[in-house]
Amino acid sequence: MSIVAAAAALSLPISLSRSNKFHATKCLRGGFGVFAIIGEEGGLVERKSPWTSLFDVEDPRAKVPQYKGKFLDVNQALEVARYDIQYCDWKARQDVLTIMLLHEKVNYHLLVTISLCGLRMSLVIVFVVVEVINPLAREFKSIGTLRKELADLQVELAQAHNQVHISEARVSTALDKLAYMETLVTDKILQDTSTTGPDLLLPSSTLSLPPAKSRQPKRSINVSGPVQPYNDHLKNFWYPVAFSAGLKDDTMMPIDCFEEPWVLFRGKEGKPGCVQNTCAHRACPLDLGSINEGRIKCPYHGWEYSTDGKCEKMPSTKFLNVKIKALPCFEQEGMIWIWPGNDPPTPKLPSLLPPSGFQIHAEIVMELPVEHGLLLDNLLDLAHAPFTHTSTFAKGWSVPSLVKFLTPSASSLQGYWDPYPIDMEFHPPCMVLSTIGISKPGKLQGQSTRECATHLHQLHVCLPSSKQKTRLLYRMSLDFAPILKHVPFMQHLWRYFAEKVLNEDLRLVLGQQERMLNGTNVWNLPVSYDKLGVRYRQWRDSVERGSKELHSQYNFLDQ
Ligand code: FES
Ligand SMILES: [Fe+2]
Q: Which of 280, 265, 286, 293 is nearest to 322 (CA)?
A: 280
**140 and 83 together in one domain:** yes
Look up the domain containing 58 and give its range. 1-195
Domain CATH code at residue 449 = 3.90.380.10
**Residue 314 Cβ contacting ligand 1 at under 6 Å:** no
- How many whole angstroms from 288 Cα to the centroid of ligand 1? 11
Of all atoms in ligand 1, which is nearest to the CA of residue 314?
A: 3
Confidence band of 85 (pLDDT split at 50, 70, 90): confident
Task: Please say which residue of 288, 313, 340 terminates a domain.
Answer: 340
**Residue 404 Cβ contacting ligand 1 at under 6 Å:** no
Q: What is the pLDDT of residue 50?
A: 59
Q: What is the pLDDT of residue 150?
A: 77
**173 and 276 together in one domain:** no
Quick: pLDDT tens for 384-437.
999 999 999 888 889 999 999 999 887 889 999 999 999 999 999 999 999 999
**376 and 462 together in one domain:** yes
Q: What is the pLDDT of residue 84?
A: 76
Q: What is the pLDDT of residue 185?
A: 53
Higher local confidence (pLDDT), 100 or 121: 100
Quick: pLDDT tens for 161-202.
545 543 453 454 345 445 445 545 555 554 444 444 334 444
- How many whole angstroms from 249 Cα to the centroid of ligand 1? 22
Does residue 211 sit within a domain? yes
Domain CATH code at residue 275 = 2.102.10.10
Strand runs labelled E in 382-495:
404-406, 414-418, 422-427, 431-438, 454-466, 469-478
Higher local confidence (pLDDT), 194 or 94: 94
- Residues 436-452, mean pLDDT to the nearest whole number: 71
Neighbours of ion ligand 2 (CB under 5 A): 505
Name every residue whose Cβ is closer than 8 Å to that of residue 277 and which is 6 or more positions away in sequence: 254, 261, 262, 263, 285, 286, 287
**422 and 452 together in one domain:** yes
**14 and 162 together in one domain:** yes
Q: What is the pLDDT of residue 116?
A: 45
**Residue 352 Cβ contacting ligand 1 at under 6 Å:** no
Of all atoms in ligand 1, which is nearest to the CA of residue 280?
A: 2
> Position 46: which residue type?
E
Task: Please say which residue of 284, 315, 340 terminates a domain.
Answer: 340
Q: What is the pLDDT of residue 436?
A: 93
Concatenated DSSP letters for 123-141? HHHHHHHHHHHHHHHHHHH
Does residue 527 sit within a domain? yes
CA distance 58 to 448: 147
Quick: pLDDT tens for 519-528.
999 999 999 9
**520 and 444 together in one domain:** yes
- How many whole angstroms from 418 Cα to the centroid of ligand 2? 17
φ, ψ dihedrals at 468, nearest 5°: -135, 35
Of all atoms in ligand 1, which is nearest to the CA of residue 284?
A: 1
What pTM was computed for the model? 0.62
Q: Count up the domains in the chain and report the number.
A: 3
Name every residue whose Cβ is closer than 8 Å to that of residue 243 and which is 6 or more positions away in sequence: 334, 335, 336, 363, 365, 473, 475
**67 and 135 together in one domain:** yes
**365 and 265 together in one domain:** no
Concatenated DSSP letters for 413-428? TEEEEETTTEEEEEET
Please state, as a whole number, how many other Cβ atoms lie within 10 Å of the Cβ of residue 321. Answer: 7
Of all atoms in ligand 1, which is nearest to the CA of residue 286?
A: 2
**258 and 118 together in one domain:** no
Share of the chain above pLDDT 90, in %: 52
Mean pLDDT of the chain: 77
Does residue 349 sit within a domain? no
49-53, 79-83, 278-282, 294-298: which has the minimum mean pLDDT?
49-53
**Residue 179 Cβ contacting ligand 1 at under 6 Å:** no
Does residue 106 sit within a domain? yes
**247 and 211 together in one domain:** no
Quick: pLDDT tens for 366-382.
999 999 999 999 999 99
Quick: pLDDT tens for 516-551.
999 999 999 999 999 999 999 999 999 999 875 554
Half-sphere exposure of 190 (CA within 13 A, CB side): 23
Higher local confidence (pLDDT), 173 or 325: 325
Q: What is the pLDDT of residue 181?
A: 53
- How many whole angstroms from 182 Cα to the centroid of ligand 2? 29
Q: Which of 263, 278, 282 to mutate to test the pocket of ligand 1 (most atoms within 8 A of CB)?
A: 282
- Residues 347-360, mean pLDDT to the nearest whole number: 95
Q: What is the pLDDT of residue 292?
A: 98
Confidence band of 131 (pLDDT split at 50, 70, 90): very low
**542 and 456 together in one domain:** yes
Does residue 347 sit within a domain? no
Please state, as a whole number, how many other Cβ atoms lie within 10 Å of the Cβ of residue 96. Answer: 13
Does residue 345 sit within a domain? no
- How many whole angstroms from 159 Cα to the centroid of ligand 1? 57
Task: Please say which residue of 340, 368, 400 terminates a domain.
Answer: 340
Does residue 348 sit within a domain? no
Q: What is the pLDDT of residue 51?
A: 61
**207 and 106 together in one domain:** no
Does residue 285 sit within a domain? yes
**Residue 313 Cβ contacting ligand 1 at under 6 Å:** no
Confidence band of 146 (pLDDT split at 50, 70, 90): confident
Q: Which of 426, 421, 459, 458 is nearest to 440 (CA)?
A: 421
Residue of the CA atom closest to atom 1 of ligand 1:
282
- How many whole angstroms from 380 Cα to the centroid of ligand 2? 9
